[in-house]
């Protein structure tokens, strides 16, 4: 009964989406206020309906209702409750439901925080989001229904893929989808502006915070995924340039470009046409990512089902969304006026160059990801495109972008002077170069890449310091505290996010340069030393988990005779799918991680063991987190808070002139 309610809620949501996707847009075009007013209740209603559907599926999992095909395929009576709930997005059908649910969540947010928008604009935005939702609901109800019954019911379920039975599964997909789907708001803003023909600074100002929020979620989502791969896959890698990782990285690159381009449109009125294109691109890549991952075109742990009907629907849907918006763009964009002029040396120009580099980098990732598929489809042979390719291509593209990242925030808008910049940055440059050359020598190993990585990281940090100092000296008078407080949060957000990149680069550089590993066979009592730490193997014991059995090793770690920690790596065998999993033991620290994973049992209680010493690896995820915090800081800027407060004071019914209600 409950699954049928969920199914029915989805059908109703489809009907509401159809109304939401057409009536308000038509109303906005014809100036009919009552048609436009449909958008808000429709969006809220849709949110409620999809929420009901989502809860129904959750209930079916919690209740172990194995008469639902999807539940039977992805859960088991022995699977703990939190993983049963996370199993909602454990496969194709459910993840699409999650996607749609998050889309309606964003819609709900738009209805709550859009009182300052002109009615027509809001109607168009919600209308566009309704159309996207319509596509997804149609997809679910025709070829990918999570509520499909299995009659007769299965006695027990096939269980969730053991790889996914991890706390990472609870957080990573929702975060990632919040990011992916969040770009639909920026996309809807862009399409609405194209439809209304009012691409102006106000449009950029409105869509900026939405884009930044989505970007923060995506950043955290990707970092979580990477961290999960690091400890779950058992070989200590954190990024593999796997097609699935790339699918999430491409919208991130486009979104990063979009954030910067929006800043120019907001502040200087420039780049409008380019910004709109980026908004369309970022969301298109999110869609492409979702479908690439979920369609089974790419073979990986994330791909679930291969069904030609689904593939066809996906292809048509992508063609309609991407093709349609690009057509609209081609039709409308040429009418958009130019913004203020700027010199080849100016902050605008540098941001533009950075944008181009980011987009080219994104295109390279796309090329590398899809190339093997195309070659295979054309019958030209099978090839693999892996980390060596992406490293070769990505590093030279990103290096100038990171270098510009240091200069851009210091350059003046409109017209900057190179000699002046050089003068202001000479210390930052000198310090960075000297440290980058000498530090690796001090640490005992010098490679060009090591120096390059450190140089870029130091450059970003030192230029940020110069930037803050200049900003403080410009605010004469007042005490330091007052001066610090008078700097807007969006500025701190920018500085922090950039420093996050620097922290990230330090992590990548140090771990690539200095990580050490050992493959050893250890008898009980044997010890091995790596990175100054001595690991003593105290044997492995059998262990019974809720739905697996495991061998659990005990390693006592000492350094210079002092106890450091005891580590318990496991080798698990999940019963239902009879799959073996390596659960590495990790001791995390600010400056290093120790990582132990059990290989195979050898004779007489001995095991093959992999030991890693990974310096600075947590800086990789720390950097991502700092970036996201920077983004959060930027959107809590005073002007957004003021706008929000003013919004609370505006009576809902009053339709004020736009200019008056924004900062």
Partner 1 sequence: MIRIWTLMVVLTMAGVAAAQEARPLAENPQVEARLKVLAVELRCLVCQNQTLADSNAPLAEDLRREVREMIAKNMSDQDIINFLVERYGDFVLYRPPLRATTTVLWIGPFLLLAVAGTVLIMALRRRQKTLPDVVVSDADHERVVQLLSDGAKHP
Q: Is 301 in the site for partner 1 (CB under 8 A)?
A: yes
Residue 663 in the binding site for partner 1 (CB under 8 A): no
Q: Least distance from C-beta 126 to partner 1, angstroms?
A: 34
Residue 496's DSSP bridge partners are none
Comparison of 367 and 437: residue with beta carbon closer to partner 1: 367
Which pair of structure tokens corresponds to residue 418?
Answer: 């190179």
13 binds partner 1 (CB under 8 A): no
* Residue 69 interacting with partner 1 (CB under 8 A): no
Q: Report the nearest approach of partner 1 to the CB of residue 335 (Å).
A: 14
CB 186 within 8 A of CB 210: yes
Structure tokens at 557: 């770690």
Whether 267 contacts 340, CB under 8 Å? no
> Cis bond leading into 152, ω under 30°?
yes
- The reply to whether 353 sits near partner 1 by the rule CB under 8 A is yes
Question: Of the candidates 399, 582, 636, 656, which one interacts with partner 1 according to CB under 8 A?
Answer: 582
- Helix, strand, coil percentages in the chain from 3-state DSSP, rounded to 5: 65, 10, 20
> Could you say which of 242, 515, 583, 618 contacts partner 1 (CB under 8 A)?
242
Tell me which residue of 589, 538, 543 sits closest to 567, measured CA to CA.
538
Query: Interface with partner 1 includes 551 (CB under 8 A)?
Result: no
Q: Which stretch binds partner 1 (CB under 8 A): 59-67, 138-146, 238-246, 480-488?
A: 238-246
- Interface region with partner 1, contact rule CB under 8 A, candidates 218-226, 452-460, 515-523, 615-623: 515-523
**Site size toward partner 1, by CB under 8 A:** 59
Nearer to partner 1, 525 or 546 (CB): 525
Q: How far apart are CA 656 and CA 653, in angstroms?
A: 9
Q: Any contact of residue 34 with partner 1 (CB under 8 A)?
A: no
Say whether residue 482 binds partner 1 (CB under 8 A). no
Contact flags string 598-637 toward partner 1, x per CB under 8 A: -xx-------xx----------------------------
Answer yes or no: are the C-beta atoms of 31 and 123 closer than 8 Å. Answer: no
Contact 613, 594 (CB under 8 A): yes
Residue 376 beta carbon to partner 1: minimum distance, rounded to whole angstroms: 10
Comparing CB distances to partner 1, the nearer of 240 and 492 is 240
Distance of alpha carbon 213 from the chain centroid: 11
Q: Pick from 156, 200, 307, 526: which binds partner 1 (CB under 8 A)?
A: 526
Distance between first and last Cα of the chain: 51
Query: Judged by CB under 8 A, which of 6, 94, 168, 243 binds partner 1?
Result: 243
Interface with partner 1, residue 579, by CB under 8 A: no
Burial of 444 (0-12, 13-18, 19+ CB in 10 A): exposed
Residues facing residue 612 across a β-bridge: 517, 595
User: Using the rule CB under 8 A, is 62 a contact of partner 1?
Assistant: no
129 versus 370: smaller Cβ distance to partner 1: 370
Q: Among 367, 377, 441, 642, which residue sits at the site for partner 1 (rule: CB under 8 A)?
A: 367
Which stretch in 89-97, 119-127, 176-184, 341-349 sits in contact with partner 1 by CB under 8 A?
A: 341-349
Q: Does 385 bind partner 1 (CB under 8 A)?
A: yes
In this chain, which stretch among 386-394, 418-426, 451-459, 507-515 interacts with partner 1, using CB under 8 A? 386-394
**Three-class HEC string of 361-410:** HHHHHHHHHHHHHHHHHCCCCCCCCCHHHHHHHHHHHHHHHHHHHHHHHH
518 in contact with partner 1 (CB under 8 A): yes
Which range, of 38-46, 229-237, 434-442, 622-630, touches partner 1 by CB under 8 A? Answer: 229-237
Give the residue with the Cβ less far from partner 1, 282 or 436: 282
In whole angstroms, the minimum distance from the beta carbon of 611 to partner 1 comes to: 9
Is position 403 an interface residue for partner 1 (rule: CB under 8 A)? Answer: no
The secondary structure of 281-304 as a DSSP string is: HHHHHHHHHHHHHHHSSS-STT--
Phi-psi region of 271 (alpha: psi -120 to 50; beta: other; left: phi over 0): left
For residue 458 the two structure tokens come to 């130091």
Q: Binding of partner 1 at residue 382 (CB under 8 A)?
A: yes
Query: Quick one: three-class SS letters along 506-556?
Result: HHHHHHHHHCEEEEEEECCCCEEEECCEEEEEEEEEEEECCCEEEEEEEEE
Q: How far is the CB of 474 from partner 1 (least distance, A)?
A: 13
Which range of residues in 11-19, 29-37, 321-329, 528-536 is near partner 1 by CB under 8 A?
528-536
The answer to whether residue 412 forms part of the interface with partner 1 (CB under 8 A) is no
For 14-50, give the DSSP string: HHHHHHHHHHHHHHHHHT-HHHHTTHHHHHHHHHHHH
Greatest Cα pair distance, the chain, in angstroms, is 82
355 touches 260 (CB < 8 A):
yes
* Closer by beta carbon to partner 1, 392 or else 578: 392
Residues that bind partner 1 (CB under 8 A): 233-235, 237, 240, 242-243, 299-301, 338, 341, 344, 349, 352-353, 356-357, 359-361, 363-364, 367-368, 371, 375, 380-389, 392-393, 397, 518-529, 536-537, 582, 599-600, 608-609
């Amino acid at each position: 009964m409950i699954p049928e309610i969920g199914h029915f809620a989805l059908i109703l949501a489809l009907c509401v989406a159809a109304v939401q996707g057409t009536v308000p847009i038509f109303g906005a075009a014809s100036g009919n206020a009552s048609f436009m007013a449909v958008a808000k209740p429709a969006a809220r209603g849709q949110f409620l309906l999809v929420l009901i559907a989502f809860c129904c599926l959750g209930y079916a999992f919690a209740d172990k209702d194995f008469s639902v095909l999807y539940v039977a395929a992805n859960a088991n009576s022995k699977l703990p409750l939190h993983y049963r709930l996370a199993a909602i997005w454990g496969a194709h059908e459910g993840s699409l439901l999650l996607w749609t649910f998050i889309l309606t969540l964003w819609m709900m947010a738009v209805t709550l925080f859009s009182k300052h928008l002109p009615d027509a604009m809001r109607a168009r935005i919600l209308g566009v989001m309704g159309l996207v939702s319509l596509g997804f609901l149609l997809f679910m109800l025709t070829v990918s229904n999570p509520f499909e019954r299995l009659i007769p019911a299965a006695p027990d379920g096939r269980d969730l893929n053991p790889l996914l039975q991890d706390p990472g599964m609870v957080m990573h997909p929702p975060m990632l989808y919040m990011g992916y789907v969040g770009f639909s708001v920026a996309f809807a803003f862009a399409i609405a502006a194209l439809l209304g023909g009012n691409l102006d600074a106000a449009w950029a100002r409105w869509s900026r915070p939405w884009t930044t929020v989505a970007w923060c979620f995506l950043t955290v989502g990707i970092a979580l995924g990477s961290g999960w791969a690091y400890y779950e896959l058992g070989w200590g890698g954190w990024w593999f340039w796997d097609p699935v990782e790339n699918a999430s990285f491409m919208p991130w690159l486009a979104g990063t470009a979009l954030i910067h381009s929006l800043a120019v449109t907001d502040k200087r009125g420039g780049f409008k046409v380019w910004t709109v294109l980026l908004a369309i691109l970022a969301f298109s890549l999110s869609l492409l990512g979702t479908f690439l991952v979920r369609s089974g075109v790419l073979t990986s742990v994330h791909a679930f089902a291969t069904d030609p009907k689904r593939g066809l629907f996906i292809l048509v849907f992508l063609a309609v969304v991407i093709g349609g918006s690009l057509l609209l763009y081609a039709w409308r964009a040429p009418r958009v006026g130019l913004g203020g002029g700027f010199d080849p040396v100016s902050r605008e120009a540098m941001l533009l160059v950075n944008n181009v580099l980011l987009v080219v980098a994104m295109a390279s990732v796309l090329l590398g990801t899809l190339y093997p598929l195309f070659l295979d489809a054309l019958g030209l042979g099978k090839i693999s495109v892996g980390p060596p390719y992406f490293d070769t291509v990505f590093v030279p593209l990103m290096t100038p972008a990171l270098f510009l990242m240091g200069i851009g925030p210091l350059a003046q808008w409109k017209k900057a002077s190179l000699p002046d910049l050089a003068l202001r940055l000479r210390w930052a440059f000198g310090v960075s170069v000297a440290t980058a050359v000498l530090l690796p020598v001090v640490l005992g190993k010098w490679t060009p890449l090591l120096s390059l990585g450190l140089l870029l990281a130091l450059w970003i940090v030192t230029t940020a310091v110069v930037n803050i100092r200049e900003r403080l000296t410009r605010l004469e008078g007042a005490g330091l505290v007052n001066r610090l407080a008078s700097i807007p949060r969006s500025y701190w957000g920018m500085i922090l996010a950039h420093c996050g990149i620097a922290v990230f680069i330090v992590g990548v550089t140090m771990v690539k340069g200095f990580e050490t590993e050992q493959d050893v066979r250890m008898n009980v009592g044997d010890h091995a030393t790596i990175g100054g730490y001595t690991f003593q193997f105290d044997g492995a014991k059998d262990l019974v988990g809720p739905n697996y059995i495991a061998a659990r090793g005990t390693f006592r770690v000492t350094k210079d005779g002092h106890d450091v920690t005891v580590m318990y790596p496991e080798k698990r065998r999940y019963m239902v799918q009879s799959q073996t999993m390596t659960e590495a033991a990790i001791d995390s620290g600010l400056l290093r991680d120790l990582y132990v994973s059990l290989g195979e049992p050898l004779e007489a209680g001995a095991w093959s063991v992999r030991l890693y010493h990974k310096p600075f690896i947590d800086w990789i995820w720390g950097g991502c987190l700092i970036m996201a915090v920077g983004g959060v800081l930027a959107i809590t800027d005073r002007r957004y808070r003021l706008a929000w407060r003013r919004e609370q004071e505006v009576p809902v019914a009053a339709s004020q002139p736009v200019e008056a209600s924004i900062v």
